[in-house]
Structure 1
């Protein structure tokens, strides 16, 4: 593993243990050259997933991009990183278990929407506003009405 500080290829594993959700191995490493310490995570990848965009373009599935979009939706919300990590791992497992290597981008979006709705309603609406391309306040009002998220509900 290359050291992120000096680029040296000689790093040593100091400690290995399962991550909190059990979906990865967390390794503490030390660089032989600069003595820098850093953490890496190893995850099982069952198959190489390709995302098929609306335009028909195919791109490799990027877990980091999924994590980033969820982090934006949950920013300044009472959602901790462990909850986000579990949610992302669950979505990835579901995608891998579909048995297909080509996944429509809409499928990923709907899985994220479903998971966010059960995690945090505000994050769900934030994500939906980008995913569904809301352009006016009436788009929000229609979405909230369609989803049963009216002002008089306790959410």
Structure 2
């Protein structure tokens, strides 16, 4: 593993342990050249998946992009990092086990929306505003009112 401080190609694993949700292994490493310590995470990747974006562009699925989007939606909300990790891991698992080599980005967007709707209403609306490309305040109002109506029907959340 390349050192992020000095770019040396060799490091030693000093400690390994599973993460709380047991979907990855956290490794503490030490560079054999400069002695700096850093953390890496190892996750199972079941298959290579290509995301089909708008305009038929294709790019490899990247968990970090998904995690970043969900984290932005949950920013300054009472959502624990562990909950975000579980949501992202669940979506990643669904994508990788779907049997499809190519998955439309819209499918991933819907999976994120479903997960955020259950996790935090404000994060759900934030994500939807970007995903559905809200352009006016009226778009927010209409969407928020449908969310409120749905929350009344299921006992409320977030």
Tell me the TM-score normalized by structure 1: 0.93
In 1, Cα distance between the equivalents of 2:132 and 2:7?
42
CA contact (8 A) 2:120 2:157 kept: no
In 2, Cα distance between the equivalents of 1:149 and 1:143?
10
In 2, Cα distance between the equivalents of 1:150 and 1:90?
23
* Worse overlay, 112-121 or 136-145: 136-145
CA contact (8 A) 2:26 2:41 kept: yes
Tell me the TM-score normalized by structure 2: 0.92
In 1, Cα distance between the equivalents of 2:8 and 2:149?
53
In 2, Cα distance between the equivalents of 1:46 and 1:19?
18
SS class of match (2:139):
helix
CA contact (8 A) 1:49 1:103 kept: yes
Cα deviation for residue 146 of structure 1 reads: 3.1
In 2, Cα distance between the equivalents of 1:151 and 1:46?
35
Q: In the alignment, which residue of structure 2 is the partner of 1:96?
A: 96
In 2, Cα distance between the equivalents of 1:115 and 1:81?
14
SS class of match (2:29):
strand
User: More helix by proportion, 1 or 2?
Assistant: 2
Q: In the alignment, which residue of structure 1 is the partner of 2:53?
A: 53
Query: Number of matched residues?
Result: 155
SS class of match (2:16):
strand
CA contact (8 A) 1:28 1:38 kept: yes
Q: In the alignment, which residue of structure 1 is the partner of 2:117?
A: 117
Cα deviation for residue 154 of structure 1 reads: 7.1
CA RMSD of aligned residues (A): 1.8
Q: In the alignment, which residue of structure 2 is the partner of 1:18?
A: 18
SS class of match (2:15):
strand
Q: In the alignment, which residue of structure 2 is the partner of 1:137?
A: 137
* Worse overlay, 121-130 or 47-56: 47-56
CA contact (8 A) 1:144 1:150 kept: no
SS class of match (1:147):
helix
